[in-house]
Structures are given as structure tokens and as C-alpha cells.
């Protein structure tokens, strides 16, 4: 439904976006995730029509929004935009914020505001409040209702939950995802928070230095990242040098099935910490390799174990679910679940 092809943008001599291409399906949820300064907001502003790319093409439902001969202005695009921290008009009450841009009769607008408030699960009595009289989560819902009032086919969300505390953030994120899917509105959300990205998205586009390094489903980009930086950006990762042959990766942790059997020779591989299962060693068994816990950093639900083995070049840190009996000096058994991801660099 929305297609970007070869979008590039420079500010002065600095290239900020380079040849970005992306397809977003109707009613889907795409997340653009990447470090600060990677070009996320610039891309969103280009899609909204607030910024002009230097080259490329953007089409929405078959209609060209931008190419070398075309520039459709923001208010004619049918695209909703929820900026960071909602950006409500402070001098307008909640109801008037939502009604901003509605051009029906007074009676119709009142009915539509009530509908939209119900859609975003806001108590209709809040329409008479000033923005500063409602909570951060409620302000985000008002901003969403205001954007939905335009009946967009695509909603752009720029770090919309960043001002909310952790619990409220997760709840608002889930409610927003459900609401947009239910309303049949496709969305593109920008964030630098990998948990948020993995939880909200049906499709993730990882951006670094103005380029997409990987586009895929959350499970794909998390378990099969293309390179080390993408792997580390999306969560904790254990990276090893390995010798790949016959579909197996030989490394410090043993012989692990490789996710891509075409590779061979010396390569870097990645495992997620949850793939490594650590268990106490039974008295009479021989561990292979011999692994000792050298340090336990207990942080509640999770502990970081520092593990050492005579054959390893350096100790390995693994974050794992805490167990009460773990202590430094203990010899443990390691097992690896699933495949090792063979990295491209
Ligand atoms: N109007 C502008 N003029 C000049 N440079 C700009 C402009 N807007 C953005 N930039 C630069 O473009 C680069 C990308 O900025 P952008 O805001 O798109 O990144 P971001 O990934 O959204 O970052 P953050 O996560 O910190 O918001 C940055 O180096 C920024 O300084």
C-alpha cells in the first residue's frame, strides 16, 4: 500500500538517508528502529510531507505522493501523524483538540469526538479538560484520536510512548497496536527502543547511518540478524568465532547446527543468551567443556553469570533466569538450543 523506492536525502553536504526502499501492507504495523541520529525522524517527516527527499519515489495505494515531478502536500496525503509527546494544542480543551480539522456541523463533530474518544478508550468526560489536566498516557490517546479523526489509511508515530513510564508505556503500546489493527489503519512507528520495536511490529526495518540494514519479521531480525551491529542493537547477543562445515558451527560451546548450511570456513556466529541452557553438573558426570561460574551478578529475575573454561580465550557473560543455588566456583553444564546464526561480517 505504501511503497518507498530509493529515497535519499542530504542536509547540506551530509547524507542522512541513502536509497531507502520499503513496502508497507494495508493494516500492518511497521517499526523503524535504529540508533539516535540514524535518520528515523527524517524518514517519517518525508512520508508525512513535512520534508522533501532529494530523489526516489513514494506511492500510497497506487497514487504517487512524491517523485521527480510530483509533491503532494502533507494535508492532502491521507496520512496521520502522532509526534513525540503528543504535542496537543495547550490552549484547546481535549474535545477541541480532537475536533481540530473536523469540518462537519457542530452536532456532527460532537458525535464524532465521542466516537473517537470511545475508540481510544478515553472517558468522554475528559473532553472538557485541558491537556495539562490529564495524564501522559491520556494525552497520547488524545493525540491518536486527533490523528484518527482525519480517517487516515496510514498512521505515522514518532516515538509516541517515550514520555511514559514503563508500565503505562507497555499498556498504551498494546492498546494502540490493537486499536490501529481494528480500525484497519496501517502504521509506521519510529523508535530507538528494541523491546518496543519487537513487541509492536509485524515488520521491522533496522536503520543505521541512513540505510536499512535489514527488513523482516520481528522473529527473523532478532534470531537471524544480518550482522553483529544489528544483532547487538536488538538485544543481548553472544558472538563467537566459529569454523563452519557440513551445516555445523564449531566454537567454544561445542558443535552447534548453523542456520545457513551454505556457509563454510571461519565465520562469526551469534546466539541469543536464552539459547544457552546452564544447569548444575551431576556429581558423577564429565562436563564437555569444563565450565566454571566465576561470578554471579544477581539482579532479581535475571542474573548475569560470568563463565570460564580452560579452552576459551576469555570468560563469557550470559544473562539468564536466576537460580538460587548458583555461586562462584560451581562447575556447570552448558547446552545450546536451536541454531547458531552465521553473521555476514
Ligand atoms: N533540518 C535539519 N537540518 C540539518 N540536519 C538535520 C536536520 N534534521 C535532521 N538532521 C540531521 O540528520 C541526522 C538524522 O536525524 P534524525 O532526527 O532523522 O535521526 P533520528 O534517527 O530520528 O534520531 P533520534 O532517535 O535521536 O530522534 C542527524 O545527524 C541530524 O542532526
Mean pLDDT value of segment 298-327: 88
User: What integer pLDDT is reported at residue 280 of this predicted model?
Assistant: 81
User: What integer pLDDT is reported at residue 67 of this predicted model?
Assistant: 94
> Within 6 Å (CB) of ligand 1, which residues are found?
11, 16, 34, 36-42, 192
For the chain, give every residue range classified as CATH 3.40.50.300.
Answer: 2-231
C-alpha pair distances (Å), 147 with each of 45, 58, 103, 133, 282: 15, 21, 14, 20, 60
CA–centroid distance, 34 to ligand 1, in Å, is 12
The residue assigned the cell 560470568 is 306
CA–centroid distance, 86 to ligand 1, in Å, is 19
Query: To which H or E segment does residue 31 belong?
Result: strand 29-33
Instruction: Give per-residue pLDDT as tens, 292-304.
Output: 999 999 999 999 9
Which residue CA neighbors atom 1 of ligand 1 most closely? 11
Which residue CA neighbors atom 7 of ligand 1 most closely? 11
Mean pLDDT value of segment 142-160: 88
Q: Is the dihedral of CA 239, 245, 251, 253 positive or negative?
A: positive
The span from the CA of 343 to the CA of 213, in Å, is 13
User: Which is more confidently placed, 87 or 133?
Assistant: 133
User: What integer pLDDT is reported at residue 190 of this predicted model?
Assistant: 94
Mean pLDDT value of segment 215-234: 93
Q: Tell which CATH classification among 2.40.50.100, 3.40.50.720, 1.20.140.10, 2.40.160.10 matches the domain 236-342.
A: 2.40.50.100
Which residue CA neighbors atom 27 of ligand 1 most closely? 36
CA–centroid distance, 9 to ligand 1, in Å, is 11
The span from the CA of 39 to the CA of 108, in Å, is 40
Give yes or no for residue 164 having a pLDDT over 80: no
For the chain, give every residue range classified as CATH 2.40.50.100.
Answer: 236-342
Instruction: Give per-residue pLDDT as tens, 326-341.
Output: 899 998 888 899 999 9
Which residue CA neighbors atom 29 of ligand 1 most closely? 37
Q: What's the length of the chain?
A: 345
User: What percentage of the chain reaches a pLDDT higher than 70?
Assistant: 97
Q: Is the dihedral of CA 60, 157, 68, 4 positive or negative?
A: negative
The span from the CA of 116 to the CA of 96, in Å, is 12
Under 8 Å between Cβ of 150 and 49: no
Confidence band of 122 (pLDDT split at 50, 70, 90): confident
CA–centroid distance, 41 to ligand 1, in Å, is 7
Which residue CA neighbors atom 17 of ligand 1 most closely? 41
DSSP state of 111: H
Which residue CA neighbors atom 18 of ligand 1 most closely? 39
Listed in sequence order, the residues at least 6 apart from 237 whose beta carbon sits closer than 8 Å to its beta carbon are 225, 228, 231, 270, 271, 272, 273
User: What integer pLDDT is reported at residue 115 of this predicted model?
Assistant: 86
Instruction: Give per-residue pLDDT as tens, 278-287.
Output: 888 776 666 5
In DSSP notation, 243-269 reads EEETTEEEETTEEEEBS-TT--EEEEE
Under 8 Å between Cβ of 18 and 211: yes
Query: To which H or E segment does residue 22 belong?
Result: strand 14-24
Label residue 78 exposed, middle or buried (CB < 10 Å: 0-12, 13-18, 19+): middle
Number of Cβ atoms within 10 Å of the Cβ of 148:
21
The angle at the Cα of 37, spanning 211 to 240, to the nearest 5 degrees, equals 65
With CA atoms as reference, report the closest residue to 230 among 197, 210, 206: 206
User: What integer pLDDT is reported at residue 345 of this predicted model?
Assistant: 65
User: What integer pLDDT is reported at residue 103 of this predicted model?
Assistant: 84
User: Which is more confidently placed, 311 or 303?
Assistant: 303
Confidence band of 60 (pLDDT split at 50, 70, 90): very high
3-class DSSP state for residue 101? Answer: coil
Give yes or no for residue 54 having a pLDDT over 90: yes
The span from the CA of 138 to the CA of 93, in Å, is 13
User: What integer pLDDT is reported at residue 86 of this predicted model?
Assistant: 63
CA–centroid distance, 17 to ligand 1, in Å, is 10
The residue assigned the cell 472517558 is 123
DSSP state of 340: B
- The atom of ligand 1 lying closest to the CA of 190 is 22
Q: CATH for 2-231? A: 3.40.50.300
Per the prediction, the chain carries an average pLDDT of 89
- Tell how strand 186-191 and strand 154-158 pair up: parallel
Confidence band of 214 (pLDDT split at 50, 70, 90): very high
Q: Which of 88-97, 136-145, 161-170 has maximum average pLDDT?
A: 88-97
CA–centroid distance, 157 to ligand 1, in Å, is 16
Mean pLDDT value of segment 22-26: 94
Instruction: Give per-residue pLDDT as tens, 61-81.
Output: 999 999 999 999 998 998 999
Amino acid at each position: 500500500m505504501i511503497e518507498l523506492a530509493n529515497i535519499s536525502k542530504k542536509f547540506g553536504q551530509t547524507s542522512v538517508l541513502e536509497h531507502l526502499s520499503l513496502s508497507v501492507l494495508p493494516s500492518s504495523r511497521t517499526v523503524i528502529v535504529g540508533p539516535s541520529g540514524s535518520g528515523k525522524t527524517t524518514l517519517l517527516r518525508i512520508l508525512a510531507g513535512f520534508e522533501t527527499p532529494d530523489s526516489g519515489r513514494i506511492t500510497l495505494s497506487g497514487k504517487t505522493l512524491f517523485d521527480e515531478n510530483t509533491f503532494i502536500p502533507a494535508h492532502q496525503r491521507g496520512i496521520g501523524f502522532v509526534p513525540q509527546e503528543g504535542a496537543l494544542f495547550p490552549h484547546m480543551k481535549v474535545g477541541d483538540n480532537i475536533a481540530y480539522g473536523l469540518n462537519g456541523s457542530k452536532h456532527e463533530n460532537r458525535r464524532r469526538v465521542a466516537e473517537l474518544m470511545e475508540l481510544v478508550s478515553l472517558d468522554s468526560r475528559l473532553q472538557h479538560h485541558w491537556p495539562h489536566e490529564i495524564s501522559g498516557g491520556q494525552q497520547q490517546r488524545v493525540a491518536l484520536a486527533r490523528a484518527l479523526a482525519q480517517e487516515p489509511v496510514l498512521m505515522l508515530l514518532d516515538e509516541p510512548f517515550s514520555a511514559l513510564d514503563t508500565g503505562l508505556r507497555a499498556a498504551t503500546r498494546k492498546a494502540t497496536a490493537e486499536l490501529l489493527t481494528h480500525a484497519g489503519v496501517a502504521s509506521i512507528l519510529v523508535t530507538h527502543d528494541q523491546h518496543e520495536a519487537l513487541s509492536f511490529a509485524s515488520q521491522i526495518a533496522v536503520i543505521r547511518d541512513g540505510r536499512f540494514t535489514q527488513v523482516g519479521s520481528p522473529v527473523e531480525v532478532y534470531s537471524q540478524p544480518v550482522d553483529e551491529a544489528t544483532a547487538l542493537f536488538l538485544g543481548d547477543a553472544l558472538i563467537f568465532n566459529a569454523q563452519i562445515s557440513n551445516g555445523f558451527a564449531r566454537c567454544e560451546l561445542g558443535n552447534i547446527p548453523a542456520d545457513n548450511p551454505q556457509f563454510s570456513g571461519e565465520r562469526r556466529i551469534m546466539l541469543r543468551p536464552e539459547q544457552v541452557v546452564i544447569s548444575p553438573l551431576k556429581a558423577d558426570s564429565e562436563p564437555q567443556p569444563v565450565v566454571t561460574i566465576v561470578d554471579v551478578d544477581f539482579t532479581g529475575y535475571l542474573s548475569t553469570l560470568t563463565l570460564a573454561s580452560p579452552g576459551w580465550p576469555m570468560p563469557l557473560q550470559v544473562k539468564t533466569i536466576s537460580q538460587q543455588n548458583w555461586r562462584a566456583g560451581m562447575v556447570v553444564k552448558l547446552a545450546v538450543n536451536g541454531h547458531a546464526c552465521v553473521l555476514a561480517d
